[in-house]
Structure 1
Amino acid sequence: MNKIIEADVVVCGGGPAGINAAIAAGRSGAKTVLVERYGFVGGMSTAALVYPWMTFHTTEGKQVIGGIAQEIIDRLIEADASPGHVRDTVGFVHTITPYHPEMYKIVALDMLKEAGVRLLAHSFVDEVLLQGDDTIGSVRLTTKSGKIEVKGRLFVDTTGDADLAYLSGAPCLQGRDGDQRTQPMTMKFRMRGVDLERVKRYMLDHPDEFYKKTPFDELERLPLSGVLGFYKHWKEANLPINRDQVLFFTGPAEDEVLVNTTRVQGLDGTDVEHLTEAEDAGRRQVMMVAKFMRDQLPGFERASISSVGAQIGIRETRRIDGVYALQVDDVVQGRRFDDVIARSGYPIDIHDPSGKGVTAAWVQGDGAYDIPYRCLLPQRMTNLLAGGRCISTTHEALATTRLTPSCMATGQAAGTAAGIAVKRGVAPADIDVSELQAELTKAGALLG
């Protein structure tokens, strides 16, 4: 017989969005369960070494994401596990936020416990049980101790892949219009033994070999936080990887970098056989890129691999087809919405699904755009919300909402909305959005 657990709010997916959703729901007083497939929380930020977090600010440096996300940063700073928000020496955004992933796991667990959240780790959602055509009654988990059924009043999909929505029968979309191809996957890895002063000296002596927005006029006094370029070295190496430059970020250790340079294209992150192939291809690319960097790049002569992601990093898979889909023009024009529940200053950042390049477009106006509550509401399912990477957007707009701080913000909004819906005894679509906005603002979210 199945073990049965009952809750008010069930959050599926323990990445940054799910963590923040569960904390918000738990703080509202709702009995909350968080379901996570790994033995630790953090999602792509821990399992796939997605690092650093970018960005909490606009290109002019105004902070537009706060709330639980900023609480986490503050705790990491107190634990000497993050320097906080620092200038991005790549120049793509104004700030990035380095952090130690192992401490993030602990900090997140502490905050979940303080909020009264029950965590079910090593648990994989494999079935959604409906009550009628439009209401989720429970989710069934596969675990080491057998099947567990978790009943809830409200459900929040923060799986990144819209697994809960898809299994429930809610409409979902995937990839770009036409061919449904998604942004490529990347196997990230860390290297130790890097001479970062030598890297910086080379950058200052050869600025034409690096990204045009690199802040060279500030580089002498700024700590090196990230590097995009080494164009000449990459071209000469002619590796069978379909991109045109090297990208890495520094830290957490003084001689350490996180390399974001591999690229696995044309595979579906929701297909187990494709994922298996992607893991294989990604790890082989890691070895290839690490050897190239050690042999060819100044500052990497004594470097070696110190860690590789537990899984490949996934930028895009399924997303809900919601009440409203955020459009690329909404982002670029910095559009405001009456039902705003989160803001972001991160630009459009599309890693080409089939080519070498990256398509970028910056936010105009005050440098930030609104994410409306309607993007969190799927069609058809009345007691389901989405947060994080699988909210309702177009393929192009997903290229900004998928970034971790944005996911943290929409996760907090989804969890807060779920808590209000439970308290008021209504469906998420019927809550008073002004009450949601007031609760978010009270909790430190930046909506103005």
Structure 2
Amino acid sequence: MKDKMQADVVIAGAGPAGIAAAVAAGRLGAKVILIERYGFVGGMSTAAAVYPWMTFHTETGERVIGGIAQEIVERLMERGGSPGHLRDTVGFVHTVTPYHAEIYKVLAVDMLREAGVKLLAHSFVDGVSSLDGAVRSLALTGKSGRFEVGGDVFVDATGDADLAFLAGAPTLQGREEDRLTQPMTMKFRMRGVDLEAIRRAMLKNPGNFYSKTPFAELEHIPLTGVSGFYEEWNAGNAPINRDQVLFFTGPEADEVLVNCTRVQGYDATDVEDLTKAEEEGRKQVLLMADFLRERVPGFAQASISSVGAQIGIRESRRIEGLYKLTLKDVVAGRRFADGIARSGYPVDLHDPSGKGVMSAFIDNDGAYDIPYRCLVARNFTNLLAAGRCISTTHEALATTRLTPSCMATGEAAGTAAALACASGTSTAEVDTGQLRHILSSNGAIL
């Protein structure tokens, strides 16, 4: 292992955003190094079992996310790793996209190799060297000891804005008034679930489920998700601060991913808080599994088959960019001249301290733009963000944090980073017309 490595584009975090960024930059000819702390890629989609991907479409079914994200879905389908986009039977969005996490891990690495990307797994970024508003190198600690990775342009795809924070770039966290963030969730899977018994329970008592559940279609389409069982939840008096049962089916025929634990009041960027959150989350998993087996139709013979390697994080730090996307922008379906991605996912804001979820749906054509300026770190000439840590308000983050949107901003960040390297310009000076043209040509902007 060399004491110092060098690349054109250096990306921290090999989650969905980092993978897309690395592939995009590599395909444009940039020398790319992608850094990942785990021994596998996929970020929240694999380490925290965030599942399924939602959504590639607007409420009316128009697909607004393409590019590398859509390519990943299609290549997963070829390998038997996804059925593609299916109707959301929760009814919150139009489609969800189930996927097999283990196949995704392998496919993503194959795509990185094809693009000429150098992947450094088991490597933790613990220091950043900056000078005159430019990141010069990252300090990594791993099995080989401590070493440096230098580059021309850096992309923070850590989810927690770790790179930006260590560089001294301005960051934001949580709500403006108290910095509280959306709760964390420890996801887990159960096998041995009778999905047809669940379907029958839904059709028998529609009022016991989320009001937008598409009951008119439910007898004829695959069951992909369930939100409700309100009567069972209220009668069970489970010691978890939420108001419903929520789970999604697959990838196996008797399998569900349970999204019901709720860990509140902790800071995901504080090691002591995060330790406590992990402990609490795993205790809630056992409580929730017992509740489902005892009270919810279809779960009597079910058992836990896997639990996330880490707790799922909805919100932590994010960069302060040249523009901060707002709730008003999202709900109005605002278009931007420098828009580099679109999203049709509604605002889905989990209360930092209460039981509920605040939802807000998108006007206009059901989609909004994410401007390039949200990716550009303020006061730095060569630092971009992608994924969960782009520049937004607390409320707007409740939509941009979803995986397909993270993939889309990742592709845009990687493309912009390669353009900045090729032209020798700062990230703020990237020609957004050229950037948008490339993204449109690749099907990333539809």
Matched, 1:432 2:431: yes
Is the contact made by 1:322 and 1:374 (CA closer than 8 Å) also made in structure 2? yes
Question: Take 1:33 and 1:185, find their aligned partners in 2: how far apart are those partners?
Answer: 30
Matched, 1:50 2:50: yes
Task: Measure how far apart 1:229 and its partner are.
Answer: 0.3
Question: Take 1:151 and 1:157, find their aligned partners in 2: how far apart are those partners?
Answer: 14
Q: 1:78 aligns to what?
A: 78
Q: 1:239 aligns to what?
A: 238
**Unaligned 5+ residue runs, structure 2?**
none
Q: 2:340 aligns to what?
A: 341
Is the contact made by 1:67 and 1:440 (CA closer than 8 Å) also made in structure 2? yes
Q: 2:98 aligns to what?
A: 98
Per the alignment, in what secondary structure is the counterpart of residue 152 of structure 1? Answer: strand
Question: C-alpha offsets along residues 79-136 of structure 1, whole Å, 9 cap, x if unaligned?
Answer: 0110000000000000000000000000100000000000000000000011x23011
Q: 1:114 aligns to what?
A: 114
Q: Provide TM-score, normalisation by structure 2.
A: 0.99
Question: Take 1:101 and 1:377, find their aligned partners in 2: how far apart are those partners?
Answer: 30
Spell out the pairing of 1:383-398 with structure 2 (5 A cutoff). 383-398=382-397
Question: Take 1:32 and 1:390, find their aligned partners in 2: how far apart are those partners?
Answer: 21
Spell out the pairing of 1:316-355 with structure 2 (5 A cutoff). 316-355=315-354
Per the alignment, in what secondary structure is the counterpart of residue 8 of structure 1? Answer: strand
Question: C-alpha offsets along residues 373-427 of structure 1, whole Å, 9 cap, x if unaligned?
Answer: 0000111111000000000000000000000000000000000000000111111
Task: Measure how far apart 1:443 and its partner are.
Answer: 1.4
Question: Take 2:369 and 2:350, find their aligned partners in 1: how far apart are those partners?
Answer: 23
Q: 1:201 aligns to what?
A: 200
One-letter amino acid of the structure 1 residue matched with residue 15 of structure 2: G
Matched, 1:373 2:368: no
Matched, 1:288 2:287: yes
One-letter amino acid of the structure 2 residue matched with residue 391 of structure 1: I
Task: Measure how far apart 1:148 and its partner are.
Answer: 1.4
Task: Measure how far apart 1:441 and its partner are.
Answer: 1.1
Question: Take 2:157 and 2:134, find their aligned partners in 1: how far apart are those partners?
Answer: 18
Is the contact made by 2:436 and 2:445 (CA closer than 8 Å) also made in structure 1? no
Per the alignment, in what secondary structure is the counterpart of residue 61 of structure 2? Answer: coil
Question: Take 1:63 and 1:318, find their aligned partners in 2: how far apart are those partners?
Answer: 29
Question: C-alpha offsets along residues 282-308 of structure 1, whole Å, 9 cap, x if unaligned?
Answer: 000000000000111111010000000
Is the contact made by 1:2 and 1:146 (CA closer than 8 Å) also made in structure 2? no
Task: Measure how far apart 1:446 and its partner are.
Answer: 2.1
Question: C-alpha offsets along residues 229-270 of structure 1, whole Å, 9 cap, x if unaligned?
Answer: 000111111111100000000000000000000000000000
Per the alignment, in what secondary structure is the counterpart of residue 298 of structure 2? Answer: coil
Q: 2:398 aligns to what?
A: 399
Q: 1:29 aligns to what?
A: 29
Question: Take 1:172 and 1:72, find their aligned partners in 2: how far apart are those partners?
Answer: 31
Q: Provide TM-score, normalisation by structure 1.
A: 0.99
Question: Take 2:428 and 2:438, find their aligned partners in 1: how far apart are those partners?
Answer: 16
Dislocated runs of 4+, deviation >4 Å? none
Q: 2:307 aligns to what?
A: 308
Per the alignment, in what secondary structure is the counterpart of residue 316 of structure 1? Answer: coil
Matched, 1:382 2:381: yes
Spell out the pairing of 1:33-182 with structure 2 (5 A cutoff). 33-130=33-130, 132-182=131-181
One-letter amino acid of the structure 2 residue matched with residue 113 of structure 1: R
Alignment RMSD (CA, Å) = 0.8
Question: Take 2:220 and 2:233, find their aligned partners in 1: how far apart are those partners?
Answer: 27
Question: C-alpha offsets along residues 18-73 of structure 1, whole Å, 9 cap, x if unaligned?
Answer: 00000001111000000000000000000000000000000000000000000000
Spell out the pairing of 1:15-26 with structure 2 (5 A cutoff). 15-26=15-26
Question: Take 2:281 and 2:109, find their aligned partners in 1: how far apart are those partners?
Answer: 30
Aligned length, in residue pairs = 446
Question: Take 1:251 and 1:2, find their aligned partners in 2: how far apart are those partners?
Answer: 43
One-letter amino acid of the structure 1 residue matched with residue 219 of structure 2: E
Question: Take 1:2 and 1:318, find their aligned partners in 2: how far apart are those partners?
Answer: 31
Matched, 1:443 2:442: yes
Task: Measure how far apart 1:2 and its partner are.
Answer: 6.9
One-letter amino acid of the structure 1 residue matched with residue 418 of structure 2: G
Per the alignment, in what secondary structure is the counterpart of residue 181 of structure 1? Answer: coil
Per the alignment, in what secondary structure is the counterpart of residue 289 of structure 2? Answer: helix
Question: Take 1:147 and 1:223, find their aligned partners in 2: how far apart are those partners?
Answer: 50
Instruction: Return 181-190 or 2-11, whichever deviates more.
Output: 2-11
Matched, 1:358 2:353: no
**Unaligned 5+ residue runs, structure 1?**
none
One-letter amino acid of the structure 2 residue matched with residue 121 of structure 1: A
Is the contact made by 1:327 and 1:397 (CA closer than 8 Å) also made in structure 2? yes
